[in-house]
Structures are given as C-alpha cells and as structure tokens.
Amino acid sequence: MDLHIKFKAHREALGVSRYRLWMDTGVHHDTIRRFESGALGVSLATITRLCTALGVEVVCDLRPRPDDSTQTPRKDGALPR
C-alpha cells in the first residue's frame, strides 16, 4: 500500500481533519488533500512533520533494485554508475 493511502487512512481513523492537521503543522490543508490523493509529491521533511502530528513515524528502507543487484561496489564503497 502506498504511503499516501496509509497516511489518509490513519488520519481518518484518528478523526483528525485536514484543517486540524493544517493548524497543528502549518502544512496547508490543500497540500494535505493533494498528497492524500496521490496527486502531489511532498518532501520527506513535510511527510515527517505530518506523521509526527499524528503520532507515527516515517521509516525508510534502502534495498538494492533488482536490475542493480549484480553490481559490485568499488574499492571506495560506491556503486559504479
């Protein structure tokens, strides 16, 4: 499930309106609406601010992409381009 869908479901389950979230975070309610609909990408900082206001945290994970799984890091630890 995409982040924006999980976020909206959690906000609604808590009974928090977009307006209340706007007042608590300073992120405009229209920005929240467009994020929740999937129409707008927002920065990680904004997502973190919104999630913090709802009492949840954002957890990111880095995994190798399937097409890059055979790449071997260079001696300095970086992957070749």
Position 66 scores a pLDDT of: 77
Position 41 scores a pLDDT of: 86
**Which whole-number Å values give the CA distances from 76 to 41, 57, 59, 69, 81, in the listed order?**
33, 33, 27, 18, 13
Cα gap 33→26, rounded to integer Å: 14
Between helix 18-25 and helix 44-53 the angle, nearest 10°, is 110
Position 68 scores a pLDDT of: 58
Q: Which CATH number fits domain 3-53: 1.10.530, 1.10.260, 1.10.3470, 2.40.50?
A: 1.10.260
Q: Does residue 24 or residue 71 have the better pLDDT?
A: 24
Cα-flanking dihedrals φ and ψ of residue 28, to 5°?
-55, 140
Residue 53, both tokens: 């206001």
- Tell me the domain boundaries of the chain: 3-53
pLDDT tens string 13-67: 999 999 999 999 999 999 999 999 999 889 999 999 999 999 999 888 888 877 7
Residue 71 has pLDDT above 70, yes or no: no
